[in-house]
Amino acid sequence: KGPVLQIKNLRKVFGGKIHAVDGVDLEVRQRETLALVGESGCGKSTVARLALRLTAPTEGTIAFEGTDITGFSQWKLKPIRRKLQFVFQDPYSSLDPRVTAGASVTEPLFVHGLVGLGAKRRQKAGELMEKVGLSSKHVDQWPRQFSGGQRQRLGIIRAFSMEPRLIIADEPVSALDVSVRSQVINLLQDLQETVGTAYLFISHDMATVKHIADRIAVMYLGRIMESAPKEVFFKVPHHPYSQALLSAVPSSHPLRKRKRFVLPGDPPSPAKTLSGCRFHPRCPMAVERCRSDVPQLRDVGDDHQVACHFAAPNPLGAGERSADSK
Ligand code: SF4
Ligand code: MG
Residue ranges per structural domain of the chain: 5-221, 222-326
- Mutating to test ligand 1, I would choose from 218, 225, 280 the residue with most ligand atoms within 8 A of its C-beta, which is 280
The answer to whether residues 50 and 10 touch, using CB atoms and an 8 Å cutoff, is yes
The residue type found at 185 is I
Burial of 64 (0-12, 13-18, 19+ CB in 10 A): buried
The verdict on the CB of residue 294 being under 6 Å from ligand 1 is no
pLDDT tens for 140-159 read 999 999 999 999 999 999 99
In this structure, which topology does domain 5-221 adopt according to CATH?
Answer: Rossmann fold (3.40.50)
CB count, 10 Å around CB of 322? 13
Residue 172 alpha carbon to ligand 1 centre in Å: 31
> Coil, strand or helix: which one is 113?
coil
CA of 290, nearest ligand number? 1
pTM of the full predicted structure?
Answer: 0.90
Cβ-Cβ contacts under 8 Å for 309 (sequence gap 6 or more): 277, 287, 289, 290, 293, 295, 326
CA of 38, nearest ligand number? 2
The verdict on the CB of residue 283 being under 6 Å from ligand 1 is yes
pLDDT band at 312 (very low <50, low <70, confident <90, very high): confident
> Rounded mean pLDDT of the chain?
89
Residue 281 alpha carbon to ligand 1 centre in Å: 9
The verdict on the CB of residue 220 being under 6 Å from ligand 1 is no
Give the strands of the sheet with 198-203, arranged side by side. 84-87, 166-170, 198-203, 33-37, 215-220, 223-229, 304-306, 298-301
Q: Region 70-77: what's the mean pLDDT?
A: 94
> Coil, strand or helix: which one is 37?
strand
The answer to whether residues 28 and 34 touch, using CB atoms and an 8 Å cutoff, is yes
pLDDT tens for 28-57 read 999 999 999 998 888 999 999 999 999 999
CA of 225, nearest ligand number? 1
Instruction: Kindly tell me if the per-residue pLDDT of 262 is higher than 90.
Output: no
Within its chain, how far is the Cα of 320 from the centroid? 28
Within its chain, how far is the Cα of 55 from the centroid? 16
Residue 87 alpha carbon to ligand 2 centre in Å: 13
Atom from ligand 1 closest to the CA of residue 225: 6
pLDDT tens for 102-125 read 999 999 999 999 998 899 999 999
Complex-level ipTM: 0.95
pLDDT band at 252 (very low <50, low <70, confident <90, very high): low
